[in-house]
Structure formats: structure tokens, C-alpha cells
Amino acid sequence: MTKRVLISDPLSEDGIFPLREAEGIEVVKKTDLTKEQLIDEIKDYEALLVRSQTKVTREIISAAKNLKIIGRAGVGVDNIDLEAATEHGVIVVNAPDGNTNSAAEHTVAMLMSLARKIPQAYYALKHQKWDRKTHVGVELKGKTLGVIGMGRIGREVALRAKGQRMKVIAYDPFLTADKAEQLGVSEGTVEDVIKAADFVTLHTPLLKETKHLIDKDAIAKMKDGVQIINCARGGIIDEDALYDAIVEGKVKGAALDVFEEEPAVEHKLLDLPQVIATPHLGASTVEAQESVAIDVSHDVVRLLGGDLVKNPVNMPSVPKDIMKKIEPFFYLAEKLGAFLAELREDTIEEINVYYSGELHDVEVGPLTRNAIKGLLKDHFGDHINDVNAAFLAEQQGLVINEHITSQTDGFVNLIKLEAKTTAGTKAVSGTLLKGLGPRIVKVEHYNVDLIPEGHIVFIRHKDQPGAIGKVGSLLAKNNINIATMQVGRSDVGGDAIMLLTIDETATDEDLNVLTEADDIYDVSAIEL
Ligand SMILES: NC(=O)C1=CN([C@@H]2O[C@H](COP(=O)(O)OP(=O)(O)OC[C@H]3O[C@@H](n4cnc5c(N)ncnc54)[C@H](O)[C@@H]3O)[C@@H](O)[C@H]2O)C=CC1
Ligand SMILES: O=C(O)C(=O)COP(=O)(O)O
């Protein structure tokens, strides 16, 4: 069936060729929808592609009944309600490096324009004023640039500033002294940076922690006559505090590409001659737009085709080499979860997942998510997926623990999934046999060898002669054909289990025939 992709912000047509070329994908561009129109429209789409204009709110995500993926053709995802997307199982992807260079170049352009008052001089000249006195600037050489946020863009800006022979001091929670030395910059706390800088430039995402990072108190600590550049996000600066500081003369000038509310056409900061501004143009180059559109389009094609995405935002991303190692275990983990869901006798309170052998040194998070998906599938149906599995489990009050153990039971790799309920603990273990595929190798304390797929009948019975024959003939009454059979027992004459695979789904009525036998305690059908 054709899958539909809605593009609601202006994206480069040259960049969306992966979508145009993909089979079974229809692209619809509607870049002037109101919020209400988008809410109405979105229900018919599997994917939504945006830039910073479309506000992808909880209301929109809730209305998007078929939505699988939101692609942000750019970096900042503060216009997308990530929590709502995760809860609804919608994956959010972005294009983290396609616009780095453009944003860094724009920042440097703003820095130089600010230092030399180019926009003000241009404006005056365009209005027939040859004014050389008002537009005297300062040199960058020898001045200190304070960079807050040394990610992709911050680092590129720092390198370019060094090219202007500026000193650079930077703060980023991940900037170590070694890294700073390699980059040829000094490092310090936010306070160190803002106290030392002649120019402060911001390159963090807009987060709870960075909202109004530059407020009245922060500005008070800056040098008199400091100049501030913001090409990251409007909310990082308290705009009222900046306005007051410019009017008072504490801050000499500011260069702003971004505003707390956009579009910002009637903004008091724009009335100040010390403020130069652009309408969020950091990423607006032909090259960046093509690059980010290509990156998100590829991820949309991957996801809609059932493949893993490259740049997930609301799920941990796993390096390619690790993913190659763990991907073959996804199916096994999900089937162990589905099997365990059938074994449990009461509400699950705690899940323990034990990984051993080959799995002792890999990122196991995606495997755990697949196990939970299998475990809760009965409850949530198709609504549960890799994106929301952990969230839904948490919402159900499930405690999930991952353990790496050395107990391999002789297998090269082993996953043991254990559920603790008020009625007791149940566990199932599985392995991936090279060249043969996944196997369930232990159910509770019984050793078995079961391919985890198809229609399975799980029987608890007393270990005694004739039990196998009895099950065969009772099922034959209802024309049920046994394809394979596994038996396991603890002690001779004690409790035992049988795991049958049968050719077709059996109803409860079909299986009730087995409970006629006194020595069969319990029967359940498991669909894997
Ligand atoms: N004006 C524009 O058109 C554009 C704006 N942006 C904005 O720039 C931001 C940065 O982009 P990238 O460098 O590509 O992202 P990035 O993720 O590579 O770098 C962000 C850095 O900020 C750091 N950080 C997080 N919290 C911090 C804090 N409290 N204090 C200091 N540093 C902190 C992170 O550790 C990270 O190193 C984006 O989130 C986006 O909002 C990005 C592209 C274009
Ligand atoms: O990538 C980012 O974070 C940007 O701010 C670029 O925004 P835009 O795609 O140009 O609306």
C-alpha cells in the first residue's frame, strides 16, 4: 500500500529525491497549513517532514493516527513535542550535520557585521546618509570570543574565530581540558567564559537547562561593552534582560538570528540600533538545505521500508558496528517476551533480562526494548513499538533491570527473560544458533529446544508412561496434527511439560479436550 509523506515546511526539492524515487511513497507538499488544517490533514500520513516553522504539538501528534516518523530537516527539535511523539510510538529523526557549516558561517558573518556595524552603515547609506563617524567598529584580532556550547557548530565557529586571530574560551559539559587543548581553545565554566569574553556566542540547543541561560544575572557578570551573538535559539537569552542591558549601555551590541517567538517582526529589540538581525537564516543556504533534506528523506525511506534509521532523536542511537552485532537477536528477544507473556500467572511487577556469552559487551538496550515489545504486545497490540516500549512499560509500573552475566549454560550467547509477579517468578531463555536461527532453550527450569515461531501448545502434566500418547490421541479427536514435540521433566514421576507445535491455530475449545485427562494440569495456546 502507498505510504504518504507530508512536507509542511519549505524543503529543498533537490534534496527530497530519495522520497521521490522510492517505490510506494507518495510525497505531498503543503507548506501553508494552519494548525487546524494540519490536525485534520495529518491522519492520512505515515511521515511528516518539517523545518523549524511547523510546531508539531501533542495535539497534532495525537491526531496523527497513522504517523510513524517525524523528520526534522535540520538540527533543533524544540518545535516538536518529543514526549508526545515517544508516547505515541512515533520516531523523530533529524539531520544533525547537514547545516553545521552554514550555521557556523552565518555566525561568523554576524560576528563580523556586529564588530564593523556593516548592517547599520548599509542601512544609512541606502537612506542617502554618508555617515563614517557613527559606524566606527572594533577589530576582532586579539579580542576574546566566548563560546557556550562546543558541539558541531560551536567548534566550527571557534576554529574560524582563531582564523581571525581571536582568543577563544569555551564551555560545554562535554568539553574536556584535553579536547580543548586539541582545538586550541581555553575552557572554563559558563561564568569563566562570560567574564572573559568581548564577544559571547551561543551554540547550545534550547533545553530546560539552557532556557534563559543568558539572563539579567549572567549579563551583569559580563564585561562592560560586551557584544552577544545568538544563532542558536531565541529562548536561550532572556530578551527583556538583553533589551534593558543594551539600553543601559552594559551590552554594546547584539546580533540575533533567532527569537523566542518567530516570526519576530514587531520586536522591541529590533528597534534598537545596536541590534542587527536576520530572520532565522543560519541554515538557509542551497547546500545546507539540500543536505538536510537528503538526510531526513533517507531516514524516512529506511523506516517506512522497515529498516533502522540513522539519526533517531527520541531513541538512543546505536553505532553501526554494534547494531550489526545485535540486530540478529531482535527477533529472539521479541519472541522470548511473547512467550513469557503467556507463561505468567499474574500482573508482572519486575522484569529482569540477563545477557551472557557474546552479548556480554554490547549495547543491549535495543534487545531489551524488543523483549518488552513482545511481552506487552498482547496488551497494546500494534501500538507498541521500539520507540514507546520502554515508556509504555514504565507507565504500567514495570521495573526493568538489565544484567550482564557469565552464566551461559554452555551456549555461545544466551538471553534469559524473567518476570516477577505476585504469584511467583517465571523465566524463559533463548539462544541464536549460528546458521540455524533462534531457539528457546529453557522454559522455567526445563531444558527444551524450540524454534520460537508458529502455533504452540504448552502443557503441564504429570510424568508417567502413556502421557505422550494420550495427548496425541486426544488432540487427534479435534483433528489437530502435531508437527513437533518437546518434553521436559524435573524428576521421574514428577511435574513435566510438553511443548507442541501444531499446524494451525487451536481454539480454547479445541484444547479443552486435553483437560479431560486427570494427569494434565494446565494447557495454553501460544502464538509466536
Ligand atoms: N540558526 C539556525 O538556523 C540554526 C540553529 N541551530 C541551533 O544550534 C544548536 C546547536 O547545533 P549543533 O552544534 O549542530 O548541535 P550539537 O548537538 O552538535 O551541539 C550542541 C552542544 O551544546 C552542548 N550543551 C548542551 N547543554 C549545554 C549547556 N547547558 N551549556 C553549554 N553547552 C551545552 C552540548 O553538549 C553539545 O555539545 C541547535 O540545537 C539549534 O538549536 C542549528 C542549526 C541552524
Ligand atoms: O537546524 C536548525 O536547528 C535550525 O534552526 C534551522 O532551522 P530551519 O530549518 O532553517 O527552519
The residue ranges of every structural domain in the chain are 3-97+287-304, 100-277, 318-453, 454-528
Q: State how far the Cα of 138 lies from the Cα of 115, in Å rounded to an integer.
A: 5
| pTM exceeding 0.80 | yes
Q: Which residues are near ligand 2 (CB < 6 Å)? A: 51-52, 73-76, 99, 280, 282-284
Catalytic option among 267, 280, 298, 439: 280
User: What contacts 324, CB < 8 A, 6 or more positions away?
Assistant: none
pLDDT of residue 488: 87
pLDDT of residue 466: 87
| Residue 84 host element (H or E) | helix 82-87
| Residue 502 host element (H or E) | strand 495-502
* pLDDT tens-digit series, residues 57-76: 999 999 999 999 999 999 99
CATH topology of domain 454-528: Alpha-Beta Plaits (3.30.70)
40 pLDDT above the threshold of 80: yes
C-alpha cell at 446: 526445563
Strands 424-433 and 413-421, sheet pairing = antiparallel
Say whether 263 sits in a helix, a strand or coil.
coil
Tell me which residue of 252, 260, 240 sits closest to 200, measured CA to CA.
252
Question: Residue range 380-402: average pLDDT?
Answer: 91
Most confidently modeled of 126-130, 485-489, 519-523?
Answer: 126-130
CATH topology of domain 318-453: 60s Ribosomal Protein L30; Chain: A; (3.30.1330)
Kindly give the distance from the C-alpha atom of residue 123 to the centroid of ligand 1, in angstroms, as a whole number. 31
280 part of the active site: yes
* pLDDT tens-digit series, residues 358-368: 999 889 999 99
DSSP string across 368-436: HHHHHHHHHHHHHGGG--TTTHHHHHHHTT-EEEEEEES--TT-SEEEEEEEEETTEEEEEEEEEETTT
pLDDT of residue 489: 84
C-alpha cell at 328: 540478529
455 part of the active site: no
Q: Is 318-453 in the same CATH topology as 3-97+287-304?
A: no
Instruction: Return the minimum-mean-pLDDT range out of 212-221, 349-358, 369-378, 498-507.
Output: 498-507
pLDDT of residue 516: 79
322 pLDDT above the threshold of 90: no
pLDDT of residue 406: 87
* Percentage helix, strand, coil for the chain under 3-state DSSP, each rounded to 5: 40, 25, 35
C-alpha cell at 152: 558541531
C-alpha cell at 125: 547609506
pLDDT of residue 84: 96
Q: State how far the Cα of 372 lies from the Cα of 341, in Å rounded to an integer.
A: 10
Tell me which residue of 277, 229, 226, 217 sits closest to 249, measured CA to CA.
226
Is residue 235 in contact with ligand 1, taking CB distance under 6 Å?
no
pLDDT of residue 355: 97
Q: State how far the Cα of 2 lies from the Cα of 25, in Å rounded to an integer.
A: 6
pLDDT of residue 347: 83
pLDDT of residue 392: 92
- Return the CATH superfamily for domain 3-97+287-304: NAD(P)-binding Rossmann-like Domain (3.40.50.720)
Around Cβ 258, how many Cβ atoms within 10 Å? 24
Catalytic option among 233, 267, 298, 439: 233
pLDDT confidence tier of residue 320, bands split at 50, 70 and 90: confident
345 pLDDT above the threshold of 80: no
| Residue corresponding to grid cell 530546560 | 208
212 pLDDT above the threshold of 80: yes
Mean pLDDT of the chain: 94
First to last CA, the chain: 25
Kindly give the distance from the C-alpha atom of residue 445 to the centroid of ligand 2, in angstroms, as a whole number. 56
pLDDT of residue 344: 78
C-alpha cell at 310: 540513522
pLDDT of residue 410: 92
Would the CA dihedral through 330, 331, 332, 333 be positive or negative? positive
403 part of the active site: no
* pLDDT tens-digit series, residues 259-314: 999 999 999 999 999 999 999 999 999 999 999 999 999 999 999 998 889 999 99
pLDDT of residue 323: 86
Ligand with an atom nearest the CA of residue 95: 2
Instruction: Return the minimum-mean-pLDDT range out of 7-11, 237-241, 404-408.
Output: 404-408
32 pLDDT above the threshold of 90: yes
* pLDDT tens-digit series, residues 156-198: 999 999 999 999 999 999 999 999 999 999 999 999 999 999 9
**Using only C-alpha atoms, what is the Rg of the chain?**
31
pLDDT of residue 236: 98
Question: Residue range 516-527: average pLDDT?
Answer: 86
Q: State how far the Cα of 427 lies from the Cα of 168, in Å rounded to an integer.
A: 57
pLDDT confidence tier of residue 517, bands split at 50, 70 and 90: confident
Taking CA atoms only, the protein residue closest to ligand 1 atom 37 is 151
C-alpha cell at 458: 504448552
Hey, which of 203, 212, 233, 259 would you mutate to test ligand 1's pocket, going by the most ligand atoms within 8 Å of its Cβ? 203
Q: b/e for 15-46, b at 16 or more Cβ within 10 A?
A: bbebbeebeebebeeeeeeeeeebbebbeebb
pLDDT of residue 513: 86
Q: How far is CA 47 from CA 209, 413, 475, in A?
A: 30, 37, 47
User: What contacts 405, CB < 8 A, 6 or more positions away?
Assistant: 354, 355, 356, 360
Cα 151 to the center of its chain, rounded Å: 18
pLDDT of residue 464: 87
Its CATH class, for the domain covering 100-277, is alpha beta
